[in-house]
Structure 1
Amino acid sequence: MRVSTKGRYAVTAIMDLYVHGLEGPVTLADISERQHLSLSYLEQLFARMRRHDLVQGTRGPGGGYRLARPADSISVADVIIAVDEPVDATQCQGREDCDAGERCLTHDLWSELSGQLQDFLDDITLAELGEQPSLNRLFPDTDHHLSPPGAPGRA
């Protein structure tokens, strides 16, 4: 089992927005260039994330996207679910018809794994991802964490 490309790209794109959005709105063209993702694909992902109130857009010169809520209130699971990617390890998407219309012998195992994966991703926020040393190494010219001013954990 793995998280789909759509889910991984959405998390990558919103993290780019978080990292680069501290100074103001970020354009999808900039995210596309930095992350090597298709602009049209980003437009689709951001439309879905906007409908789930994860991001908000500003039109016009100087416009772009920013987070709609504080980074510590947006979980990785929120992002994946917003782009219609359920976290599900079962073959039947939870319908219990995995073995020729019947429940398979290992359904409970895969269902429990799905729940644990959902809980794991739900417990990780964008702010927590921003505190990872690997992300802060990408910005060596700063002596602070990626958290916005006044946020807990910012030096």
Structure 2
Amino acid sequence: MRLTTRGRYAVTAMLDLALNNESGPISLADISHRQEISLSYLEQLFAKLRQNNLVSSVRGPGGGYCLARSSDAISVAEIIDAVNESIDATSCSGKGNCHNGDICLTHHLWDDLSRQIHRFLSGISLDSLVHQQDVQVVMLRQSDQADANSGCAKV
């Protein structure tokens, strides 16, 4: 079982948005630059995130995206679910046809694991990630790199 790029990138982009939310709407180009995620890929992800009421968009100059709810009201599982990512440890995608059309010996074990993972990720909010020390350290490093690349020094 593994989380695909779509789910990982969606969570990363939403965390970036939560970390930078105080400065107003955030452009996808800024997220793309900081997180090194393709802009066109982010556009696809944010269309799904917007459809699922996790982000809202602001048009015009200075526009971009904002969280649709507070960061403590958005779970990692919601983000993954919004981009149609499956957290499934079964070999049959949960259909129960893993052994010649029937349930295999370990189907229920892997199905239970999938539910446990989803429950675990449901208990993690964006806000809890924002306040983790290691996330703060990475954010500062990315901010410093962005400033260095733009030729501006932090004042």
TM-score of Structure 1 vs Structure 2, range by shorter chain: 0.7 to 0.9
Flag the structure with more relative contact order, 1 or 2, with Cα contacts below 8 A and sequence separation at least 6. Answer: 2
Identity between Structure 1 and Structure 2 (%): 54
Residue 72 of structure 1 and its aligned partner are, at CA, apart by 0.5
Residues matched between the structures, number:
140
SS of the aligned residue for 1:96 comes to coil
- Distance in 2 of aligned mates of 1:103 and 1:49: 34
Long gaps (5+) in structure 1 = 141-155
SS of the aligned residue for 2:119 comes to helix
| Poorly superposed stretches of 4+, deviation over 3 Å | none
Long gaps (5+) in structure 2 = 142-155
TM-score by length of 1: 0.88
Counterparts in 2 of 1:45-124, with a 5 A limit?
Answer: 45-124=45-124
AA at the equivalent of 1:7: G
Residue 51 of structure 1 and its aligned partner are, at CA, apart by 0.3
SS of the aligned residue for 1:22 comes to helix
RMSD, aligned CA: 1.0
TM-score by length of 2: 0.88
Residue 139 of structure 1 and its aligned partner are, at CA, apart by 3.2
- Distance in 2 of aligned mates of 1:45 and 1:100: 36
- Distance in 2 of aligned mates of 1:24 and 1:139: 18
Q: Which has the higher helix share?
A: 2
SS of the aligned residue for 2:66 comes to strand
SS of the aligned residue for 2:102 comes to coil
- Distance in 2 of aligned mates of 1:73 and 1:91: 32
